[in-house]
């Protein structure tokens, strides 16, 4: 079973071996409102941890999506181009942004698990 980790910027990464599926959390999509456009990176692009990886635009605002860990993009979600609302409908499922080959799995240790992320969200209210 894949493990999910979260950042304080509300990105998630679902880890399956050395591949991570990246998107924004349910909390983030609620805060953004209706997503109308997603700008995804090119396959082959590499990121440092915390580097700008994508842009998501909603009726309220545009927001950067940051790489939870360093890695190389191996796949992007082609469905988001024609149906960006998938980010709202199923952020942790069909609304994923990209898959990356994780460069340094030790960086995952600095991210929050689901319980820690839930506690972190309580501090934002």
pLDDT in tens, 62-121: 999 999 999 999 999 999 999 999 999 999 999 999 999 999 999 999 999 999 999 999
pLDDT at 2 over 70: no
Domains of the chain: 3-117 (2.40.50.100)
Cα torsion angle, 29, 32, 37, 43, sign: negative
Cα torsion angle, 94, 38, 89, 83, sign: negative
Q: Is 85 exposed, middle or buried (0-12, 13-18, 19+ CB in 10 A)?
A: middle
pLDDT in tens, 5-52: 999 999 999 999 999 999 999 999 999 999 999 999 999 999 999 999
- What average pLDDT does this structure show over 56-65? 94
Are the C-beta atoms of residues 21 and 32 closer than 8 Å to each other?
no
Q: Is 100 exposed, middle or buried (0-12, 13-18, 19+ CB in 10 A)?
A: buried
The per-residue pLDDT for 1 is: 53
């Amino acid at each position: 079973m894949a493990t999910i980790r979260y950042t304080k910027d509300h990105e998630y990464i679902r880890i399956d071996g050395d591949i991570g599926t990246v998107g924004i959390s349910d909390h983030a999509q609620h805060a953004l409102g209706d997503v109308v456009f997603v700008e995804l990176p090119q396959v082959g692009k590499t990121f440092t941890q915390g580097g700008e990886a994508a842009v998501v635009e909603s009726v309220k605002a545009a927001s950067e999506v940051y790489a939870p860990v360093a890695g190389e993009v191996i796949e992007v979600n082609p469905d988001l181009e024609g149906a960006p609302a998938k980010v709202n409908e199923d952020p942790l499922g069909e609304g994923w942004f990209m898959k990356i080959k994780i460069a340094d799995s030790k960086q995952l240790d600095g991210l929050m698990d689901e319980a820690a992320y839930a506690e972190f969200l309580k501090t934002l209210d």
